[in-house]
Amino acid sequence: MNITDRFLKYVSFHTTSDENTHTTPSTARQLELGKYLREELIGLGLEEVELDGNGYLMATLPANTDGKPVIGLIAHMDTAPDASGENIRPRIVRNYDGQDIVLNDAKQIVLETAKYPEIKHYTGQDIIVTDGTTLLGADDKAGIAEIVTAVEYLIQHPEIKHGKIRLGFTPDEEIGEGADHFDVKKFGCDFAYTMDGGAIGELEYENFNAAACKLHIHGVNVHPGYGYQKMKNSILIAQELMSLLPAGETPATTRGYEGFFHATGIQGSVEETTISYIIRDHDRQRFEARKKQMQDIVQTINKKYGEDTVTIELRDQYYNMREKVEPVMHIVTLVEESMKEIGITPKVQPIRGGTDGARLSFEGLPCPNIFAGGENFHSRFEYLPVQSMEKACQLIVTMMQKA
């Protein structure tokens, strides 16, 4: 199976994760892709293929030479809850002409170059797009397809010498839980890479420090005709609380190393409103300050409207992997040199997000992140250049040979 067909097969599985289920995997549908991948890997001839009850899939391609490190390749099976991942209808735009792409004529959904100018970089290439009603799932099924295809190539070409390679496919990365039950000791690698980055050339070993925050606003509902000095509208209190956060520190107004507060969901009535936030910053001190700022705002609201008007759930999700990767920078150099060898210009930059590798790095498995090739992740306008996916596959093969 070629890499494009493999990717299209993977995105046919509905694998959206859900932070509200408090199970692992967070959605049983992720196991369906896991089972399919297990059988595929067995069919390819990999060893130690195991899918556990939590939805973690591991496998081994044995070494065919001595003296090389054990390297892990990791990708995640879930897609983000930010856009629908059900009934994805991908389409390949052959020899893209550099113009706007009509994703859905009936609904007048257009991928406009004025809004997404990066797509022009792929003029002349073949681009996989959605029909504008769902995300595509290149994040991170492109990564899975690249890993599996690269391993298949190594099996078919035993003249390419490589060390032991371990594959790890995880659930629930998109809700910050992908490493919760990842057994680093069992994985048994000297170091690893997540194939979970964006555009071709991306190489990242810095990421956000990350926290998830849930705010519960408790109101009092009475008949609106008799609400004077009795009603406490949780929706309006939520609005006031949100207004106390800095308006210029959101994903839409920050870039590079700048952090943010991001409201990811809100549900409410007069009686009860819940707001979900994620808090992000590359700098650890500023990250801690952001969490305290959120807690201080909650105290301000409670002082005004009464104790326990707002309750807060705040938990750290992952930290910046830089401090764990810098002592072993040869694993970054390996990627840079391999990219240059196959004609890719490395783009070393901080991740404005996180990967399973961030947490795994703190558990003793240094794990930089490499491009998977897609753009506009988590969006109905997500797309994937086929040639970028093919280059990622070639990169893996080159790295395994050079390591």
Q: State the catalytic residues.
A: 78, 173
CB 250 within 8 A of CB 280: no
Between helix 284-305 and helix 234-243 the angle, nearest 10°, is 140
- Please give the Cα distance from 51 to 321 (Å, whole number): 27
Q: Are residues 41 and 148 in contact, defined by beta-carbon separation less than 8 angstroms?
A: yes
Q: Using CA atoms, how far apart are residues 222 and 180, in angstroms rounded to an integer?
A: 43
178: CB partners within 8 A, 6+ apart? 76, 78, 170, 171, 172, 355, 356, 359
Rounded Cα gap, residues 65 and 70, in angstroms: 12
Identity of the amino acid at 64: N
* Token pair belonging to 164: 């032991």
Question: What does the DSSP assignment read for 83-98?
Answer: S--SS---EEETT--S
C-alpha 373, offset from chain centre: 13
Cβ atoms of residues 138 and 202 within 8 Å: no
Sheet architecture: strand order including 91-93: 91-93, 127-129, 383-385
SS3 (DSSP) at 9: helix
| φ, ψ for residue 285, nearest 5 deg | -65, -45
Burial call 67-80: b when 16+ CB within 10 Å, e when fewer? ebebbbbbbbbbbb
Reading the block at residue 126, the tokens are 């073949």
DSSP 20: T
CA 196 from centre of chain: 7
Q: Is 61 helix (H, G, I), strand (E, B) or coil?
A: strand
DSSP β-bridge partners for residue 61: 165
The SS3 of residue 312 is: strand
Contact 170, 182 (CB under 8 A): yes
User: What is the distance between the alpha carbons of residues 334 and 402, in angstroms, rounded to a whole number?
Assistant: 7
